[in-house]
Chains A and B, each alone.
Chain A
């Protein structure tokens, strides 16, 4: 078998099967580090085996078997040393009537995801662990995505793994009564990953496609594993609908292109169609959650044939609803932006002025930038100037900074 074909099959298996294989092996090792070593070993063995024997019909099953065999070997050899380590709390599956095949290839991915997104881990640790263990991203790559040193990221991941083991964070799917809250925690991790990639908080790039595509893969995986959950459907829709515009957010010269100036014919039509269908599904049968409302807002943007056709009154209505379900200052800010376009800059400014005393927005560049935009439209240039300057100081993203600097420079007077 040609080397390139094997390499491609392996890359594909890494993307599709990593979580499945690792999750199955964790059940055997009850130790995240050992499980990772065994899975890496299985992928290394696959390079040789697949080039000699061809790619197996079920690569995930092949890799799982190889990794589990490796795990059994290591556990046998190191049994005495391992006895002193705290092991993961794994639910015991009753042996009676258990199909052996099913036991080997049973899907443990949800257990892995819920463990990585456990609410007793810090928010940055949840994101990092999910990327490392569920997506199989290397620590070096995660460190690059979050613009911290590899040593810092490695320490963050190690600390989280130690807490999982020492504090006995269980490797299981939460009970029905806690499932909604715990699912929300998983969705928040995926959403945070997406927003981090969508507008990188710092650095030279505006959009980090590597990070947003991991978020999309995770949302698809979760949709498969929790098919009935409307907020899971909604988050997948949100990522598709918002991501559909990503390529148009930058002009050819690398500068920021606003929604009003984007070429809508070049948005990703298939992503919009898929996302729009999912939004309608997420909005059916009951009051909408925060992701359904966010996705519905994105759908209204995506489906407007032109900027002038945007249904701002309906978007304001959705933000009103969202502010009740999810009363965060950033939602308040976005609601004010919608009011600006629905009712004009004076109304927008009034809504924004109500937010200026919120300490949680004190270092948030978009509040100053949006107030500056409203003042500029109202012709109050001398008031707009210091706010643009403030926003420039607060943003960490180079593309946004360049955009704001240009706005400031173009102010008359």
Chain B
């Protein structure tokens, strides 16, 4: 078995612009996805918006540079993730294609396998 992180990227303003009903519908879609793929999913969550993020970099001299905001500013920001455990990339992609993608898209990244 192989582990993959499915990173969900979306335009945060589009996401926050949803009405209460639309937002509830989107959540229901995600719940449905989670139920249908329960056998593969081992973890995952929605993330609070990048406005709540704090980034920490080393200043190279033993100290830290702590800044408000995401590590990299992008139009489409990381908004959530799933951790899945499946047989191969083909299955990972089959799961990833089912992630509700009304706004945005996903990236599938294999976790490094250090062997048993």
The answer to whether B115 and A168 have CB atoms under 8 Å apart is: no
9 A-B contact pairs sorted by A residue (CB < 8 Å):
A83-B115, A83-B116, A84-B114, A118-B89, A120-B89, A168-B2, A170-B87, A170-B90, A178-B90
Within 8 A of B (CB), among A153-197: 166-170, 174, 178
Q: What is the 8 Å Cβ interface bit string for chain A, positions 245-283, against chain B (1 contact, 0 not)?
A: 000000000000000000000000000000000000000
List residues of chain B with CB within 8 A of the CB of A85: 115
The answer to whether B115 and A120 have CB atoms under 8 Å apart is: no
Given contacts A83-B116, A174-B90, 12 further A-B contacts (CB under 8 A): A86-B115, A89-B2, A118-B89, A120-B89, A166-B110, A166-B112, A167-B89, A167-B110, A168-B2, A168-B88, A168-B89, A170-B90
The answer to whether B115 and A84 have CB atoms under 8 Å apart is: yes
Q: How far is the CA of A366 from the CA of B93 in the complex (A)?
A: 38
List residues of chain A with CB within 8 A of the CB of B108: 167
Report if B113 contacts A (CB, 8 A). yes
The answer to whether B88 and A170 have CB atoms under 8 Å apart is: yes
List residues of chain B with CB within 8 A of the CB of A120: 89, 93
The answer to whether B89 and A170 have CB atoms under 8 Å apart is: yes
List residues of chain A with CB within 8 A of the CB of B114: 84
**A168 and B93 in contact, given A84-B115, A85-B115, A89-B88 (Cβ under 8 angstroms):** no
Q: Report the 6 A-B pairs with minimum CB-CB distance, sorted nearest first.
A: A170-B88, A168-B2, A167-B110, A89-B88, A168-B88, A167-B89
Q: How far is the CA of A167 from the CA of B92 in the complex (A)?
A: 10
Q: For residue B90, which residue of chain A has the nearest CB?
A: A170
List residues of chain A with CB within 8 A of the CB of B90: 169-170, 174, 178
The answer to whether A86 and B88 have CB atoms under 8 Å apart is: no
Within 8 A of A (CB), among B64-116: 87-90, 92-93, 108, 110, 112-116
Q: For residue B94, which residue of chain A has the nearest CB?
A: A178
Chain A interface, >50% SS class: loop
Query: Of B2, B89, B108, which is in contact with the most chain A CB atoms at under 10 Å from its CB?
Result: B89
List residues of chain A with CB within 8 A of the CB of B92: 168
Pick from A83, A84, A169, A178: contact of B88, CB under 8 Å: A169
Q: How far is the CA of A84 from the CA of B116 in the complex (A)?
A: 8
**How far does the Cβ of B5 sit from chain A's closest Cβ, in whole Å?**
12
Q: How far is the CA of A35 from the CA of B76 in the complex (A)?
A: 41
Within 8 A of B (CB), among A78-133: 83-86, 89, 118, 120
Q: For residue A82, which residue of chain B has the nearest CB?
A: B115
The answer to whether A86 and B89 have CB atoms under 8 Å apart is: no
List residues of chain B with CB within 8 A of the CB of A118: 89
Q: How far is the CA of A300 from the CA of B113 in the complex (A)?
A: 54
List residues of chain B with CB within 8 A of the CB of A167: 89, 108, 110
Q: For residue A89, which residue of chain B has the nearest CB?
A: B88
Q: How far is the CA of A185 from the CA of B88 in the complex (A)?
A: 19
Q: For residue A84, which residue of chain B has the nearest CB?
A: B115
Q: How far is the CA of A178 from the CA of B2 in the complex (A)?
A: 21
Q: For residue B109, which residue of chain A has the nearest CB?
A: A167
Q: How far is the CA of A84 from the CA of B89 in the complex (A)?
A: 19
List residues of chain B with CB within 8 A of the CB of A170: 87-90
List residues of chain A with CB within 8 A of the CB of B112: 86, 166
Q: What is the 8 Å Cβ interface bit string for chain A, positions 63-86, against chain B (1 contact, 0 not)?
A: 000000000000000000001111
The answer to whether A89 and B115 have CB atoms under 8 Å apart is: no
Q: How far is the CA of A347 from the CA of B113 in the complex (A)?
A: 61
Within 8 A of A (CB), among B33-76: none
**How far does the Cβ of B1 sit from chain A's closest Cβ, in whole Å?**
9
Q: How far is the CA of A178 from the CA of B89 in the complex (A)?
A: 14
List residues of chain B with CB within 8 A of the CB of A169: 88-90
List residues of chain B with CB within 8 A of the CB of A89: 2, 87-88
Q: For residue B2, which residue of chain A has the nearest CB?
A: A168
List residues of chain A with CB within 8 A of the CB of B2: 89, 168
Q: For residue A169, which residue of chain B has the nearest CB?
A: B89
Within 8 A of A (CB), among B1-26: 2
**How far does the Cβ of A22 sit from chain B's closest Cβ, in whole Å?**
20
